[in-house]
Amino acid sequence: MRTILVIDDNPSVATALDVLFSLRDIRTLAATSPDEGLELLRRERVDLVVQDMNFHADTTSGDEGVALFREIRALKPDLPVILLTAWTHLETAVDLVKAGAADYLAKPWDDRKLLASAENLLELAEATGVVGRVQQQRREARRLLAERHDLRGIVYASDAMQRVLELACQVARADVPVLVTGPNGAGKERIAEIIQANSSVRGGPFVAVNCGALPSELVEAELFGVEPGAYTGAGKAREGRFEAADGGTLFLDEIGNLPLAGQIKLLRVIETGQFERLGSNRTRQVKVRLVSATNADLPAMIRSGTFREDLYYRLNVIQLAVPPLAARNDDILPLAESFLGGRARLTGEAKVALEAHGWPGNVRELRNTLQRAELLCRDGVIAPGDLGLPVPTTRSLNGASDQEPDRATIEAALARAAGVVSQAAAELGLSRQALYRRMERVGLKA
C-alpha cells in the first residue's frame, strides 16, 4: 500500500489528512515533531512526505521546516516532499523548490489540489522506481556482457546496441560469415572487431579492406595477391588480403561496391577457401573468418543485376543490423563524454543540442563535432555555439513552438506558480516530466 508520512505539530492536521488520503486507499503515518518524523522515516517504507514548515506557534520564520526538509533530503534524496504552511514567503518557496521540494501548498489547503498533487507524485515515484529498477537491470546486463566478452572498449548505453553486441558475441563463436548492415559512420567495423575478439581466431590477424576504395582493375590483385609480371608495373610478388588474414578475420567493408568480376572470385574463396594469385596458376588455401559490411540495399542491387544473389546468401548467413545514432539516443552523451576524455565539459544546453540533432553522419559525425568544439570552446566549457548545432526548441522536444526555457525563465514560472511544478509546466507549455528534465539540465533540483 502507498504510504504518506505527515509531519505536523498539530494532531488535527494529521487526522484530517488521514481521512483525506484514506479516500484514495493511501496509508498515513503521523509525526508531531521533526525528530519523530525522521525516526519514522528511518524505520518505515514511505512514498511521500507532507511536512509543515512551522513547528512553534510563536514563530513564523519557517527555519524549523527548512531544517527538517534538508534532513529529509539528506536521508532520502529521491523522496518527494510536499510543504504545507500558513506562512507564505514566495522567495523561500522558490528556494525550496530549487532544493528539491516537489510541491508547496498554503494552509488552509485545497483538498482537491492536495490530493491531485499527492497522487501525481506517488504515481511519478512509482514510475520512477520501475524505471530505476529497469535501468539497474540494464546496467547489470551491460556489466555482465563486458565481463564475459571482449567488447573492444565500445561505449554505449542503449538497449539497441546491447542487443547488437549480445548477438555479435553469440555468433562470434560460430565459424560462419557475418554481414553487418547499417549507415556509414555507425560503427560497423567496431562490430567486426568485436566478432574477431570473441571468436576462435581471436589470436589471428584482423585485416580490413574498403571495397569501395579499390579500383576495379586492381580488386583481384588486392584481394588475392599478384605474381611478378602479371601486369605492367607488377615487379614483385605480393600477397593479397586473403593471405594476410589467414588464420584470422577478413573484414570486407562496403561489399556492395565490389565489381561483379570480384564477386565471382570471392564466391569461390568462400566456398572452398582456395584461390590463385593474379598471374599464377598455383592454387593456395587459406582459412579466414569473413565479416562483410554494407550501407547499401543488397536485395535491391540483386534485382538490378549489380550484386550476385548466390554471393549475398553466402555472406548473409548471420546479419547484424547496427542502428543509426539517431535511433539510439541514449548513446549520444556517453559517446560525447568519451570523445572529450575529461578535457572539456558540456553545458546543459550543449547536451540538449547534441541529443536533439539528427546525426546523419552517425558516430563519426559526433566525434568530429566534439573535436571541433573542443578546439573552439573557452575555458574548457562547450556551449551549443561551439558545436555548430542549433539550440532545439520545445517544438522539437514537446510539440510547443517557444524556445526551450532557460534557468531564469523556469525560476520565474515557478515563482509565479508558488513552486507548483505542474502549474509552472503548464505555463511553459511543457509536461510535468519534461519540466523536471529541463530543470535537471539547467541545474535546478527536481
Reported as a single tens digit per residue, the pLDDT across 73-101 is 889 888 999 988 765 555 666 677 677 78
CA distance 301 to 94: 62
- Report the Cα–Cα distance between both ends of the chain, in Å, rounded: 25
Quote the pLDDT of residue 402.
Answer: 42
Which one is predicted more confidently, 441 or 174? Answer: 174
Residue pair 72/79 in contact (Cβ under 8 Å)? The answer is yes
Among the candidates 304, 323, 342, a domain finishes at: 323
Quote the pLDDT of residue 441.
Answer: 77
Quote the pLDDT of residue 394.
Answer: 45
Quote the pLDDT of residue 332.
Answer: 95
The CATH number of residue 269's host domain is: 3.40.50.300
Quote the pLDDT of residue 94.
Answer: 65
Cell of 33: 515533531
Mean pLDDT (the chain) is 87
Residue pair 336/365 in contact (Cβ under 8 Å)? The answer is no
Instruction: pLDDT band for 66, please (50, 70, 90 cuts).
Output: confident
User: What does each C-alpha distance from 54 to 9, 14, 300 come to in angstroms?
Assistant: 8, 14, 73
Q: How many domains does the chain have?
A: 3
Among the candidates 128, 162, 180, a domain finishes at: 128
CA distance 269 to 315: 12
Residues 47-51, mean pLDDT to the nearest whole number: 93
243 and 120, same structural domain?
Answer: no
118 and 196, same structural domain?
Answer: no
155 and 117, same structural domain?
Answer: no
User: Which of 289-298, 354-363, 391-400 is predicted with the least confidence, judged by mean pLDDT?
Assistant: 391-400
| Residue 285: pLDDT over 90 | yes
Residues 234-242, mean pLDDT to the nearest whole number: 87
User: Which of 151-155, 191-195, 213-217, 242-246 is predicted with the least confidence, judged by mean pLDDT?
Assistant: 213-217
What's the chain's length in residues?
446
Instruction: pLDDT band for 412, please (50, 70, 90 cuts).
Output: confident
Cell of 424: 509552472
381 and 303, same structural domain?
Answer: no
CA distance 199 to 249: 9
Among the candidates 323, 348, 364, a domain finishes at: 323
Q: 352 — phi, psi (to 5°)? A: -60, -45
Residues 404-408, mean pLDDT to the nearest whole number: 73
| Residue 281: pLDDT over 70 | yes
Quote the pLDDT of residue 399.
Answer: 42
13 and 123, same structural domain?
Answer: yes
Residue pair 270/314 in contact (Cβ under 8 Å)? The answer is yes
Quote the pLDDT of residue 85.
Answer: 75
Fill in the amino acid letter for 19. V
Per residue in 324-359, pLDDT tens? 999 998 999 999 999 999 999 999 889 988 988 999
354 and 268, same structural domain?
Answer: no
Domain assignment present for residue 140? The answer is no
User: Which of 24-33, 309-318, 391-400 is predicted with the least confidence, judged by mean pLDDT?
Assistant: 391-400
Q: 261 — phi, psi (to 5°)? A: -60, -40
Domain assignment present for residue 203? The answer is yes
409 and 292, same structural domain?
Answer: no
Residue 160 sits at the vertex; the CA angle it makes with 156 and 165, to the nearest 5 degrees, is 65
| Residue 198: pLDDT over 90 | yes
Domain assignment present for residue 288? The answer is yes
State the residue range of the domain holding 294. 151-323
Quote the pLDDT of residue 395.
Answer: 41
Q: Give every CB contact of residue 403 below 8 A, 6+ residues apart in sequence.
A: 391, 393, 394
CA distance 265 to 337: 44
Instruction: pLDDT band for 177, please (50, 70, 90 cuts).
Output: very high
332 and 428, same structural domain?
Answer: yes
The continuous run of DSSP H or E covering 216 comes out as none
Instruction: Map grid coordinates 543488397 to a residue.
Output: 298
436 and 353, same structural domain?
Answer: yes
CA distance 373 to 264: 46
CA distance 78 to 98: 14
Domain assignment present for residue 56? The answer is yes
The CATH number of residue 31's host domain is: 3.40.50.2300
The CATH number of residue 355's host domain is: 1.10.8.60
Angle between helices 11-22 and 111-148 (to 10 degrees): 70
H helices present in 173-259, as ranges = 188-197, 219-224, 241-244
The beta strands (E) that lie in 163-312 are given as: 178-181, 206-210, 249-253, 274-276, 283-285, 289-294
Give counts: helices (H), strands (E), the chain: 20, 14
User: Which of 48-52, 231-235, 325-329 is predicted with the least confidence, judged by mean pLDDT?
Assistant: 231-235
387 and 268, same structural domain?
Answer: no
183 and 53, same structural domain?
Answer: no
Compute and round to an integer the Cα radius of gyration of the chain: 31
Quote the pLDDT of residue 213.
Answer: 85
Per residue in 129-168, pLDDT tens? 776 788 889 999 999 999 999 999 999 999 999 999 999 9
Domain assignment present for residue 92? The answer is yes
Domain assignment present for residue 96? The answer is yes
Domain assignment present for residue 171? The answer is yes
Q: What is the pTM of this model?
A: 0.67
Per residue in 247-270, pLDDT tens? 999 999 999 999 998 899 899 899
Which one is predicted more confidently, 440 or 242? Answer: 242
Domain assignment present for residue 271? The answer is yes
103 and 37, same structural domain?
Answer: yes
The continuous run of DSSP H or E covering 158 comes out as none
Question: Max alpha carbon distance in the chain (Å)?
Answer: 105
Of 81, 306, 86, nearest to 216 by C-alpha is 306
The continuous run of DSSP H or E covering 381 comes out as strand 381-382
